[in-house]
Amino acid sequence: MSVRILALVGSLRSGSHNRQLAEAAVKLAPEGAEVEVFDGLGEVPFYNEDIDVEGSVPAAAVRLREAAQAADAFLVFSPEYNGTIPAVLKNAIDWLSRPYGAGAVVGKPVAVVGTALGQYGGVWAQDDARKALGIAGGKVIEDLKLSIPGSANRFAETHPVDDAEVAAQLTEVVARLHGHAGEVAAA
């Protein structure tokens, strides 16, 4: 069975190490898993119930919801901004949590990973992302974590896919997420 994993990256910066980590996940996905990195989170307007009205939902939000609806699982890459989740990622979760109780993440396996400059690799932000995704209805896999500290130094000259330790850890994350998605689909 083929499993579609939608990757959401919480950094919009062109040289983002989290974006590079997501690109590595695409390359390292096991057979039967397809990781697709969603482009366009920066185009999605801030969530506002006044514009979340059938027939007038902004096109960027519709595109996000459609991609999420087609996914079997989510792999979220979160840097840490001021000790918490980036606004663009929280906004995506807000859009995907609606309509309440029936959003595109409901019941689907979710893993949150990432890298950050600090010594803990963004764990506070990743924990906040797990919390928000769980409240939105995602089936957060709490023991599936990867927080890579010191991103600016570690990836200054090496893409994450070429870092053997990171590649091995990320491969395991994607494989386990793939397995969880397969279990949900079979149930």
Annotated domain spans of the chain = 3-186
CATH assignment of 3-186, given 3.40.605.10, 3.40.50.1000, 3.40.50.360, 1.10.760.10? Answer: 3.40.50.360
Nearest-angstrom CA–CA distance, 85 and 17: 15
Degrees (nearest 5) of the Cα angle 22, 28, 34? 75
Query: pLDDT at position 184, please?
Result: 85
pLDDT-flagged residues of the chain (< 70): 1
Decide if 111 contacts 173 (C-beta within 8 A).
Answer: yes
State pTM to two decimals: 0.96
Query: pLDDT at position 26, please?
Result: 98
